[in-house]
Structure 1
Amino acid sequence: MKPELQDLPLLDNTGSHRFELTVNHATAFMEYGDREEALALFHTEVPAQLEGQGVGTALVEKVLAEVEQRHRQLIPLCPFVTAYLKRHPEWQRLVAPAYQRWFAPSQS
């Protein structure tokens, strides 16, 4: 994560079921749904003026840290989150068992 994004707070907007990260008066967000012991991540949105600045990556990293802090599992339904998890296998430990197969090495 870029240093200038590290100290920005992650807001859990429970009313809208989304995590929010505001940067320079624009808000990136990740929609989620609460499941029994897991948090399902549905969609990530980064405003056009924030694209290419690492905001999406910072949002994913902050959300993953929050999921871990809450001792929850993760259901990664968002393609952006899934792509991040494939590039950063150390976070795959949070993925709910039923979804682990998405990250297993392919058998050729």
Structure 2
Amino acid sequence: MDDSVTENPAAHRFEMAVGDSIAAAYYRLEDGKVVLIHTEVPQQLSGQGIGSKLAEGAFRLIRESGRQAVVRCSFMANWVSRHPEVNDLVVG
């Protein structure tokens, strides 16, 4: 399994290919901030930690790009609450 996360700006999402499926964290940009609005993991992949790997990769890319995140997605909010190492990236 290739668990590398990439950003697809045209689709406004961070994505991770898992076999023939794509897990994605959708966002919109507001004032230069990445507003995380929805996370989707294909049903057949649920319970395998895919969402957590996606979140970890998305926050790594946000950090590398020098941006900050606004968390409006309940999955991402839950993930952030368990990963204080990204607190410096989260605003609003």
So what's the TM-score if we normalise by structure 2?
0.92
2:53 paired with 1:90: no
- Determine which of 14, 28, 35 is the counterpart of 2:9: 14
Look up the match of 1:52. 47
After TM superposition, give the deviation of residue 35 of structure 1 in Å.
Answer: 1.7
After TM superposition, give the deviation of residue 37 of structure 1 in Å.
Answer: 2.7
Query: Greater share of strand residues, 1 or 2?
Result: 2
Superposed CA RMSD in Å reads 1.3
- Supply the distance in 2 between the matched residues of 1:68 and 1:36 (Cα, whole angstroms): 16
In the alignment of these two chains, the number of paired residues is 92
So what's the TM-score if we normalise by structure 1?
0.79
Any gaps of 5 or more consecutive residues in structure 1?
100-108
After TM superposition, give the deviation of residue 11 of structure 1 in Å.
Answer: 2.6
Larger radius of gyration: 1
- Correspondence 1:16-55 to 2 at 5 A: 16-55=11-50
- Determine which of 75, 79, 92 is the counterpart of 1:80: 75
Any gaps of 5 or more consecutive residues in structure 2?
none
